């Protein structure tokens, strides 16, 4: 039986051209709760080491964003201008993004953690016309001008040194606090957000105002988020959703480019100081925080929900989080991608009660049911473009295939990348399906099970092997922190290998290495999915993506494994 889930009539219709500007959420909140804190940031520490804080109310944030909008407009930035924003998370960042939305300008956001070379390549593909950035970003613009050849306006956030252009502070000081928002259309470009590049070059995803608005409504409805709650988003972009939903946003004291190195005590401190009720972060963050709390007997009773995403979330992590949260709170694992978010979601109790046993046997990771307004299907796996939709592409329920989605939260294109668009989009009448790049299947209850990235499947002479199901078998060993399936040799004749990162302090030495190796092989032989794996290697720290520090870089590991086995 072939199943179509979450279908709504709106999927069949072209995007609305009605006036819609996602920034309209901010003035609405400023009218309703002007004195409620909108943004809180750490502003140094006292002699006792405890954080000091600075904040803006919704009224102050609205006025600040209007002054920014006036100042940037006066500097020549206007509707449709592509503006590369390279500003650290903080009071300026949120006000600046809302200002650009109000102006109808198009902010471009790129993860700086990907490295200068890859970042410059991203900048070249989208050709920004303006750069609003910290001094280090402006220095890169001057020293590496080839990637910034289209930039006509430069605004420095902070102290200006040997380059020209205005400073954001000077523009703000000369501007009024009233601004008439541009009446953008729902299908008008709102922003370009770059993917993390975890399975290939990072790509600029074109977001429309209507898509952002649909995301806000979908997230708020799915998780019953109420205005007046307090949010701690460990991914900078989600701070904008916090504000749009009427939550107080607490910017965590951490390097957003290195979530796996977060100081868990500082996350706990912020949650407790501000009675945080909602938070979003990668498994890398909550693995550290949950271990810290369990080891010290610390609980976080104000939290109502913890959203964890960016990589598969293990049952062990959910179990630890339940020890930290109150009995009425839960963990949620939303599924999606930069190109389509959110797609589906599942809560921690359902994972532990119903899904964990199947995951341990190699059934994949359950990511729940599609959200209202999202249509999700599974089609046969292909590495080639699929120009137009056909129901003949569908695979039966229970069979692993390629995950495709459509709906109001699904983006339509990458910026300046026709080949990537051809590979990722399938035309269906007036709408588009997005090929999310993942493989999985639908179960008998209509839930989606994630089995890994399409690019990470290992194609042997006996058929394909999928990363997440196979790795789960080896992750059951108590001394294994995580593992990675890689293929050695050409597709179609690849030999599978498993690379294991042991738990801290458990890296095998001497005779223990052979013993550990044999234990893992025995685990693999007991499961039909993994019985053919005879190559097991140990690695001290598996390489991961720059955004969430949780997606394993299997491409790099495959090269490493080939070198080790020569």
Peptide bond into 342 cis (omega under 30): yes
| Residue 136 to residues 131, 164, 538, Cα–Cα distance (Å) | 12, 14, 38
Phi, psi dihedral angles at 445 (to 5 degrees):
-100, 10
Token pair of 442 as six digits: 């639908």
Q: What is the structure's pLDDT at 17?
A: 52
Backbone φ and ψ for 272, nearest 5 degrees, come out as -75, -40
d(CA 144, CA 335): 37
Which residues, listed in sequence order, are joined to residue 499 by a DSSP beta bridge? Answer: 484, 537
> What is the distance between the alpha carbons of residues 207 and 205, in angstroms, rounded to a whole number?
6
Q: Any idea what the Cα angle at residue 235 is, between residues 215 and 318, rounded to 5°? A: 90
Question: For residue 9, which of 407, 339, 428, 342 has the smallest C-alpha distance?
Answer: 407
Q: Which positions of the chain have pLDDT values less than 70?
A: 1-17
Q: What is the maximum span of the chain, computed from C-alpha positions, in angstroms?
A: 72
Distance CA 98, CA 92 (A): 10
Which one, of 398, 309, 377, lies nearest residue 346 by Cα?
309
Order of strands, edge to edge, in the sheet holding 278-281?
Answer: 51-57, 37-45, 248-250, 230-233, 278-281, 305-308, 330-332
Which residues lie across from 206 on neighbouring strands?
Answer: 192
CA 82-87-92 angle, to 5 degrees, is 100
Going from the C-alpha of 438 to that of each of 253, 454, 462, 542, the distances in angstroms are: 32, 5, 21, 21
Spell out the domains of the chain, with CATH numbers in brackets.
Answer: 458-564 (3.30.300.30)
Encoded tokens for 93: 């960042």
d(CA 384, CA 114): 27
> Helices (DSSP H) in 127-237: which residue ranges?
135-143, 168-173, 209-222
Give the model confidence (pLDDT) of 49-65 as tens digits.
Answer: 999 999 999 999 999 99
Spatial separation of the C-alpha atoms in residues 259 and 285, rounded to whole Å: 6
Q: 402 near 378, Cβ under 8 Å?
A: yes
293 neighbors 264 (Cβ within 8 angstroms): yes
Question: In what helix (H) or strand (E) does residue 564 lie, and over which residues does it extend?
Answer: helix 554-564
Backbone angles phi, psi at 208, to 5 degrees: -105, 160
pLDDT at 18: 75
Distances (CA, A) of 417 to 115, 141, 148, 209, 257: 21, 23, 18, 21, 25
């Amino acid at each position: 039986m072939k199943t179509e889930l979450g279908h709504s009539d709106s999927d069949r219709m072209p995007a609305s051209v009605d006036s819609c500007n996602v920034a309209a959420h901010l003035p609405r909140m400023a009218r309703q709760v002007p004195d409620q804190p909108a943004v809180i940031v750490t502003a140094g520490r006292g002699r006792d080491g405890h954080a000091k804080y600075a904040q803006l109310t919704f009224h102050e944030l609205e006025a600040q964003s209007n002054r920014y909008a006036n100042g940037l407009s006066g500097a020549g930035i206007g509707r449709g201008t592509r503006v590369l924003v390279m500003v650290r998370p903080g009071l300026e960042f949120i006000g600046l993004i809302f200002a650009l939305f109000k102006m109808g300008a198009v902010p471009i956001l790129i993860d700086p953690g990907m490295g200068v070379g890859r970042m410059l390549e991203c900048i070249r593909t989208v050709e920004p016309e303006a750069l609003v950035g910290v001094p280090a970003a402006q220095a890169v613009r001057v020293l590496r001008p080839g990637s910034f050849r289209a930039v006509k306006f430069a605004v420095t956030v902070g102290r200006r040194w040997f380059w020209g252009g205005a400073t954001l502070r000077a523009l703000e000081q000369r501007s009024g606090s009233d601004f008439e928002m541009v009446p953008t259309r729902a299908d008008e470009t709102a922003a370009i957000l770059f993917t993390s590049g975890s399975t290939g070059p990072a790509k600029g995803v074109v977001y429309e105002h209507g898509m952002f608005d649909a995301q806000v409504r979908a997230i708020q409805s799915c998780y019953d988020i109420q205005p007046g709650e307090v949010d701690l988003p460990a991914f900078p972009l989600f701070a904008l959703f916090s504000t749009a939903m009427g939550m107080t946003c607490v910017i965590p004291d951490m390097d957003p480019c290195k979530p796996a190195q977060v100081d868990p005590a500082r996350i706990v401190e912020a949650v407790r100081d501000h009675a945080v009720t909602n938070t979003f972060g990668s498994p890398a963050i909550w693995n550290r925080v949950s271990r810290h709390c369990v080891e010290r007997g610390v609980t976080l009773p104000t939290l109502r929900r913890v959203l964890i995403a960016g990589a598969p979330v293990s049952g062990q992590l959910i179990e630890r989080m339940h020890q930290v949260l109150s009995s009425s709170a839960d963990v949620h694992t939303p599924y999606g991608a930069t190109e389509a978010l959110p797609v589906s979601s599942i809560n921690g109790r359902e994972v532990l009660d119903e899904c964990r046993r199947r995951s341990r046997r190699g059934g994949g990771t359950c990511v729940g049911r599609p959200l209202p307004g999202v249509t999700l299907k599974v089609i046969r796996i292909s590495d080639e473009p699929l120009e137009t939709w056909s129901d003949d592409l569908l695979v039966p329920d229970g069979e692993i295939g390629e995950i495709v989605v459509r709906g109001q939260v699904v983006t339509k294109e990458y910026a300046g990348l026709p080949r990537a668009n051809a590979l990722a989009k399938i035309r269906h009448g007036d709408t588009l399906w997005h090929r999310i790049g993942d493989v999985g299947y639908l179960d008998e209850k209509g839930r989606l099970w994630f089995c890994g990235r399409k690019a990470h499947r290992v194609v042997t002479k006996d058929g394909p092997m999928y990363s997440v199901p196979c790795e789960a078998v080896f992750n059951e060993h108590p001394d294994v922190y995580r593992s990675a399936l890689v293929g050695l040799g050409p597709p179609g004749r690849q030999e599978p290998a498993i690379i294991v990162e042991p738990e801290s302090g458990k890296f095998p030495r001497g005779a223990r290495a052979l013993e550990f190796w044999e234990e893992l092989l025995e685990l693999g032989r007991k499961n039909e999915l993994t019985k053919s794996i005879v190559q097991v290697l140990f690695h001290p720290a598996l390489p991961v993506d720059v955004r969430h520090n949780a997606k394993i870089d299997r491409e790099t590991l495959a090269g490493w494994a080939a070198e080790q086995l020569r």
